[in-house]
Amino acid sequence: MRTLHLLAGALLALPFACMAQACTSPGQRVDQQGFVRINGIEQWVTMQGDSCANPVILIAHGGPGNPQSLYANGPDAAWRKDFTVVHWDQRGAGMTYGRNKPSEDEKLTVEGLRDDGLAVARHVRERLGKRKLILMGGSWGSVLAVNMAKTDPDQFCAYLGTAQFVGHHQNTDGHAKLIELARAAGDSATVATIEALGPPPWKNPRSFGIERRAMRKYEAMTTDPMPKAWMAPGALYATPQALADYEGGEDYSFIQFVGMQDDGMASTIDLYKLGTDFKLPVYLVQGTEDLLTTQAVTQRYYDAIKAPVKKLVLVPRAGHDPNPPTADAQTKLLREDIRPRCL
């Protein structure tokens, strides 16, 4: 039994170069995972779908540091009938972090992760024989995806963003809204805690986590919960070392994002500076109860966008984190609006 377990682990670690071509006939299923040499390091990529003839979705995960390779059956599982779904563990996260432990002086940058993502897109297109991909991103992943779409739009047939993060100085209005909600609820402890932080940006990296936990508390009061099945770890993370690597990547990426003195990647983000003209269709999904990337900030950014097609879907009973109403809105857009454009 132990021999079989070790063999399975060895197969998981195979680079794609050692595997069969993912798409050789239209009716062929796609179910592959492995490391791909991307910009000097091996990065983890998974591809799953019922038919390689279907359009391909490349998902830029959030966090940063929260790849969906951890989960056995996330919200995208239902999409695999009509799409091939590609996940990529970004530099500094998940399996990629475990394979390439960064040195103390290594820094993550938006531009570096953008270039990694574009190289992953080229690899996926070549491997699956696709001219263009659907690009998706949520929260931090929405920043990364917009940077990818603006830099090399010819690789993508559409962009679908969820909980769109716009900028370091734009996405700050949730702080006052949180205090307002806590005061209305008579929650003096939360009011005192959040007022003591002061408004963002902060010099203390712990401040972001303190406020985000309070936001989740209040979002939970007006949103539908995330199903427990979505959060179940998959076989890939069955060992203590794999889980430790995942958590290590979370910690590393978070510090790289916020910085020790408000000097991390977050401080450089301002999507308006990239320009608001897009060469591809843009679809945004926004939870009405989102306190981190609020509806008002997303609406202003959406209004400024010029694109061949654009659409904003507001989702009641949805906050910042994924939940069934969010997934339903994404699914509807993917099947009815995006798939016909990307066949």
The pLDDT assigned to 14 comes to 52
Residue 83 near residue 30, CB atoms below 8 Å: no
Q: Could you give the domains of the chain?
A: 2-14+27-342 (3.40.50.1820)
pTM of the prediction? 0.94
- Give the largest Cα separation in the chain, rounded: 62
Phi, psi of 237 (to 5 degrees): -115, 40
What lies within 8 Å, CB to CB, of 256 at 6+ separation is: 64, 92, 107, 108, 264, 265
The pLDDT assigned to 27 comes to 81
Between CA 146 and CA 293 the distance in angstroms is 15
Q: How does pLDDT run along the chain (343 residues), one tens digit per residue?
A: 333 233 233 334 456 655 556 677 778 999 999 999 999 999 999 999 999 999 999 999 999 999 999 998 999 999 999 999 999 999 999 999 999 999 988 999 999 999 999 999 999 999 999 999 999 999 999 999 999 999 999 999 999 999 999 999 999 999 999 999 999 999 999 999 999 999 999 999 999 999 999 999 999 999 999 999 999 999 999 999 999 999 999 999 999 999 999 999 999 999 999 999 999 999 999 999 999 999 999 999 999 999 999 999 999 999 999 999 999 999 999 999 999 999 9
The pLDDT assigned to 12 comes to 46
The pLDDT assigned to 181 comes to 98
Residue 154 near residue 281, CB atoms below 8 Å: no
Residue 137 near residue 162, CB atoms below 8 Å: yes
The pLDDT assigned to 2 comes to 31
Residue with tokens 């339903």: 328
Between CA 145 and CA 271 the distance in angstroms is 11
Phi, psi of 139 (to 5 degrees): 55, -125
Between CA 190 and CA 208 the distance in angstroms is 14
Please report, in angstroms and rounded to a whole number, the separation of the first and last CA atoms in the chain.
44
